[in-house]
């Protein structure tokens, strides 16, 4: 197709990267792309979660479906998820979704034998696949204290109570149920550009400048101890609350501070549930976004639509 190309080349700059946390800049693109990435991360990156529970014995205080719901919400390490099959289109098993290609089996056996309350946690879940296990926050890279970590609580048992069950974990996406969502928090903000009108600032007293600095609920501005000038220390702490601008207006100095969001620059914060690494979450999301775009490009409707657009294009150019 002839005509102008609107292709842009977005860039990513990683600010901070931990196992379950990532902060990065996404530049030279639109809100639509940034938002698509965010939406895919929340709803369409696959993970593995417990989907079917067969309870053999349950004499605990919680009923069967209560425990099944709790089990489902336990995040499982899901590096395998991208290569795994959805049980609905798995052809190795006949639709019951219980084969090794599309499911992972878990067993849990717990019985309280003494007078102390027994905590049944995610650590008691025994997996059939060593690569799919309940997320262990005690990993050395994590900052949680090892002594404090006891896994995720499932139920508490008193003397004589017993819980015995078999669970099947399957691949799924967050759109179907939130238990399959790998994202704890995915959010972005527009990068703010803050201008301080130095000439007008000169006219203010130190007290007034202090009031400008303190008007923002987050620490965006500070006063340079040497020069006494108001400087921007952390533009990203600005929450677009307009408090500073209102303050400037009340000081009879509108335009003293101006803030504009950069329309093509986003700061992403991604926190993972632990199912996959935050960095992997972003990469998987990009892969899935590509697959979705391929599906659009290859569908016949699009070809038809393109032809129509060609006609329209010609029409627009007066052809």
Partner 1 sequence: MLSLKYGQTDEVAALFSLCRMDTLIYLLVYPQRPLLTTRTIELVGYDKLGAGQNATVAVMSYSGYDIEDAIVMNKSSLDRGFGRCIVMKKMSAIVQKYENGTSDRIIRPQRERYDPERLQILDDDGLASPGEIIRPDYIYINKQSPVVTRGPITSPMGLPDSAYKPSIQTYKGPEGETPVLDRVSLCSDKNNNLCIKFMVRHTRRPEVGDKFSSRHGQKGVCGTIVQQEDFPFSERGICPDLIMNPHGFPSRMTVGKMIELLGSKAGVSCGRFHYGSAFGEPSGHADKVEAISETLVKHGFSYNGKDFIYSGITGMPLQAYIFMGPIYYQKLKHMVLDKMHARGSGPRVMITRQPTEGRSRNGGLRVGEMERDCLIAYGASMLIYERLMISSDPFEVQVCRKCGLLGYYNYKLKTGICSTCKNGDNISTMKLPYACKLLIQELQSMNIVPRLKLTEA
Binding of partner 1 at residue 48 (CB under 8 A)? no
Q: Alpha-carbon distance 66 to 75, whole Å?
A: 17
Which residue's entry shows tokens 């067969």? 54
Q: Backbone dihedral region of 145: left (phi > 0), alpha (psi from -120 to 50 degrees) or beta?
A: beta
Of 185, 291, 299, 302, the one binding partner 1 by CB under 8 A: 185
Q: Which two tokens stand for residue 185?
A: 């928090």
Binding of partner 1 at residue 177 (CB under 8 A)? yes
CB atoms within 10 A of CB 206: 9
Binding of partner 1 at residue 26 (CB under 8 A)? no
Of 11, 35, 139, 250, the one binding partner 1 by CB under 8 A: 35
Of 79, 243, 258, 264, the one binding partner 1 by CB under 8 A: 243
Which CB, 122 or 201, lies closer to partner 1?
A: 122
Q: Alpha-carbon distance 111 to 100, whole Å?
A: 29
79 within 8 A of 192, measured Cβ to Cβ: no
Of 175, 203, 260, 262, the one binding partner 1 by CB under 8 A: 175
Span 247-276, contacts to partner 1 by CB under 8 A: 261, 269, 271
Binding of partner 1 at residue 289 (CB under 8 A)? no
Which CB, 175 or 297, lies closer to partner 1?
A: 175
Q: Which two tokens stand for residue 108?
A: 């849990």
Encoded one letter per residue, x for contact with partner 1 by CB under 8 A and - for no contact, window 55-94 reads: ------x-xxxx--x---x---------------------
40 within 8 A of 288, measured Cβ to Cβ: yes
């Amino acid at each position: 197709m002839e005509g102008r190309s609107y292709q842009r080349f977005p860039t990513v700059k990683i600010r901070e990267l931990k196992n379950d946390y990532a902060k990065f800049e996404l530049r030279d693109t639109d809100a639509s792309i940034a938002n698509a990435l965010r939406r895919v991360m929340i709803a369409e990156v696959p993970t593995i979660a417990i989907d079917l529970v067969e309870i053999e014995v349950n004499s605990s205080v919680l009923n069967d479906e209560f425990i099944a719901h709790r089990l489902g919400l336990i995040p499982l390490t899901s590096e395998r998820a991208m290569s795994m099959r959805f049980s609905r289109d798995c052809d190795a098993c006949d639709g019951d979704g219980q084969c090794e290609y599309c499911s992972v089996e878990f067993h849990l056996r717990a019985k309280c034998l003494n007078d102390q309350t027994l905590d049944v946690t995610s650590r008691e879940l025994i997996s059939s696949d060593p690569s799919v296990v309940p997320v262990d926050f005690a990993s050395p890279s994590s900052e949680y204290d090892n002594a404090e970590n006891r896994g995720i609580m499932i139920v508490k048992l008193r003397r004589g109570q017993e819980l015995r069950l078999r669970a099947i974990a399957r691949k799924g996406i967050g759109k179907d149920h939130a238990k399959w969502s790998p994202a704890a928090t995915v959010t972005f903000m527009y990068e703010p550009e803050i201008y301080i009108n130095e000439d007008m600032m000169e006219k203010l007293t130190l007290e007034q400048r202090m009031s400008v600095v303190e008007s923002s609920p987050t620490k965006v501005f500070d006063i340079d101890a040497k020069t006494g000038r108001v400087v921007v220390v952390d533009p990203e702490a600005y929450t677009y609350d307009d408090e500073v601008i209102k303050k400037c207006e009340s000081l009879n100095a509108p335009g003293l501070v101006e803030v504009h969001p950069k329309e093509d620059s986003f700061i992403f914060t991604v926190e993972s549930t632990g199912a996959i690494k935050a960095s992997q979450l972003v990469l998987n999301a990009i892969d899935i976004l590509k697959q979705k775009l391929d599906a659009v490009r290859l569908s016949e409707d699009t070809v038809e639509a393109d032809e129509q657009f060609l006609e329209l294009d010609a029409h627009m150019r007066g052809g």
